[in-house]
Amino acid sequence: MTTAVYPGSFDPTTNGHLDIICRASKIVNKLIVAPLINLSKVHTFTMDERVEHLKILTAHMPNVEVKPFDGLLVNFARNNDAKIIIRGLRAVTDFEYEFQMALANRNLAPDIETLFVSTSVQHLYLSSSMVKEVAQFGGDISNMIPSQIKNLVLEKFSKVV
Ligand code: ADP
């Protein structure tokens, strides 16, 4: 059985994240989507909110589990019997950081492989920070985040439509 972990901030989950989740869930037996508890990063959405969004979005995917983590990713992967770390790659700007992380994780845990899933072209320039920037100024985020969580995300910016 192949288990993979897809870690991230998911602050909030975008169409780009969901695309990676859908595609990765088809190539492994079990996918653990793992929102990161990062004390040095200020998140817009609480952990409970980020987990709620992810659970709503993956409710129909039987092999996807949502499980927050903190500490070292490779330890979390090991504790969950995951041999694969999934990361999404957008433009070249992602590459250096992602490559550095993958090498660091391989150094720590040679038995765990990082697998990069390339973005779909329509999500190339989509990020959580872009969603937040557009939402806070009342812009339309309909084509950036899944419709099931749109109101929950907009509520945060007091712009429910
Ligand atoms: P992090 O803070 O770990 O970068 P993010 O939630 O921003 O967390 O991203 C989690 C993962 O999802 C990263 O591998 C990132 O490159 C990927 N990702 C983010 N947005 C997209 C997108 N639009 N298309 C594909 N992958 C994406």
CATH class of 3-160: alpha beta
Task: Please report the pLDDT score of residue 159 as a whole number.
Answer: 46
Residue 64 predicted with pLDDT over 90: yes
Our answer on whether the CB atom of 90 is closer than 6 Å to any ligand 1 atom is yes
Residue 160 predicted with pLDDT over 60: no
Q: Measured from the CA of 94, which atom of ligand 1 is nearest? A: 16
Q: For residues 56 and 29, is the Cβ–Cβ distance under 8 A?
A: no
C-alpha 160 to ligand 1 mean position (Å) = 25
- What number is the average pLDDT over the span 130-144? 94
Q: φ and ψ at 114, to 5 degrees? A: -90, 130
Task: Please report the pLDDT score of residue 38 as a whole number.
Answer: 80
Convert the pLDDT of each residue in 105-119 to its tens digit: 999 999 999 999 999
Report the alpha-carbon angle 74-13-153, nearest 5: 140
Q: Whole-model pTM above 0.85?
A: yes
Strand order in the sheet with 64-66: 64-66, 30-35, 3-8, 84-89, 113-118
Convert the pLDDT of each residue in 14-52 to its tens digit: 999 999 999 999 999 999 999 998 878 889 999 999 999
Convert the pLDDT of each residue in 80-136 to its tens digit: 999 999 999 998 888 999 999 999 999 999 999 999 999 999 999 999 999 999 999
- Residue of 67, 32, 31, 61 lying closest to 47 (CA atoms): 67
106 is catalytic: no
Q: Measured from the CA of 129, which atom of ligand 1 is nearest? A: 7
Of 50, 123, 128, 132, which one is the catalytic site residue?
Answer: 128
Measured CA to CA in angstroms, residue 84 lies from 6, 13, 70, 78, 113 at distances of 9, 21, 17, 10, 5
Residue nearest to atom 17 of ligand 1 (CA): 88
**Pairing relationship of beta strands 64-66 and 3-8 according to DSSP bridges:** unpaired
